[in-house]
Amino acid sequence: MVIKEDALKEPTGLLSEDNMDQESIRQAIKTLLTAVGENPEREGLRRTPDRVARMYGELLEGYRQDPNELVNDALFEVKYDEMVLVHDIEFYSLCEHHMLPFLGRAHVAYLPRNKVLGLSKIPRIVDMFARRLQVQERMTRQIAECIDELLNPLGVAVVIEGLHLCATMRGVKKHDARMTTSAMLGAFRNSLATREEFLANIARGSNPIL
């Protein structure tokens, strides 16, 4: 099955495998260091621009991942229609507003329609969308829509709990604030009992973010 690229890569035009310009990132970091009053040539900072450029290559690799290649052939025909739940999936992302990290845990469930996804692929899907400049609300929806498009299940549910450093390090400086977002599709939206079963399961098994 081919996953619709426009639904999964929104917003587009930021990075691709061929146009991540490492040299421009290095020069931008040198400019930033100078602008804040530092000397980019001093010993401790001399290699910082290169480190940061390589770091962004890793933290933003989700733009360069093809969801179809990621899933590959890990779709299996199984006569099973009960809930499949993977909870406490750790993720790390960058807020697109301040480019500061937000991190947390994702809980993902679906009701199969005679087709299941290999276990490791769900955390990989979470990582694919987390490793972009993101907002938590969009990331939650993208994960749910990706699994829905891929499996055509009876329903998909995603709940994400995030700690945002833009709200703890700066601004309101609320160190204990956590953000929870959810996306419910199909049976998880239409059936209260199904939704409550999912929420009860993640409440029992969830670990705190920090």
Active site residue 142: no
Active site residue 134: no
Catalytic residue among 10, 41, 96, 137: 96
Beta strands in 60-148 (DSSP E): 75-77, 84-95, 101-111, 115-117, 133-134
Residue 26 is encoded by which pair of tokens?
Answer: 């290095």
Catalytic residue among 65, 134, 145, 164: 164
Instruction: Please count the other Cβ atoms lying within 10 Å of the Cβ belonging to residue 152.
Output: 13
- Phi/psi region, residue 186 (left: phi>0; alpha: psi -120 to 50; beta: rest), is left
Active site residue 69: no
Catalytic residue among 22, 98, 149, 197: 98
69 by Cβ neighbours in 10 Å (0-12 / 13-18 / 19+) ranks as exposed
8 A C-beta contact, residue 109 and residue 85:
yes
Distance CA 45, CA 36 (A): 13
Catalytic residue among 97, 137, 175, 196: 97
What would the 3-class secondary structure string for 144-210 be?
A: HHHHHHHHCCCEEEEEEEEEEHHHHCCCCCCCCCCEEEEEEEEHHHHCHHHHHHHHHHHHHHCCCCC
Active site residue 87: no
Active site residue 146: no
Catalytic residue among 95, 107, 134, 146: 95
Q: Which residues are catalytic?
A: 95-98, 136, 164, 166
